[in-house]
Amino acid sequence: MKQAVVHLDEKTDRVLNVVKALHGFKRKDEALNYVVAEYGQTLMEREIRPEYLKKLEKIRKTKAVRVPGFGKRYDLKTARQKYQKV
């Protein structure tokens, strides 16, 4: 667990006290961890924009381009055999 000295302004302190009281936390660090976890979850789990999903579906439907000699040029057969042995 990390420890830090944190300087809070009055409004932030009041908000933490309210969160602490609402959720029955005994210490402010519990309230702060809760607030950060909630914000972090919404930040990390943003929804994918619908226009990106349409673009992705369009890309998935396109046909792959064949490049003659690609496997030989990049020695893919040997690499595939090497990884299958592992």
Q: What is the mean pLDDT of residues 54-63?
A: 91
- Distance from C-alpha of 34 to C-alpha of 56, rounded to nearest angstrom: 35
In angstroms, the Cα distances linking 37 to 22, 30, 33, 34, 45 are 16, 10, 6, 5, 12
Residue-averaged pLDDT of the chain: 86
pLDDT at 86 over 60: no
Using one digit for the tens of pLDDT, what is the confidence trace for 36-57?
998 888 877 777 888 988 999 9
Q: What is the mean pLDDT of residues 45-73?
A: 86
Answer yes or no: are the C-beta atoms of 15 and 26 closer than 8 Å.
Answer: no
Q: What is the pLDDT of residue 81?
A: 65
Q: What pTM, to 2 d.p., does this model score? A: 0.51
Q: What is the mean pLDDT of residues 7-22?
A: 95
Q: What is the pLDDT of residue 82?
A: 63
The residue ranges of every structural domain in the chain are 1-86
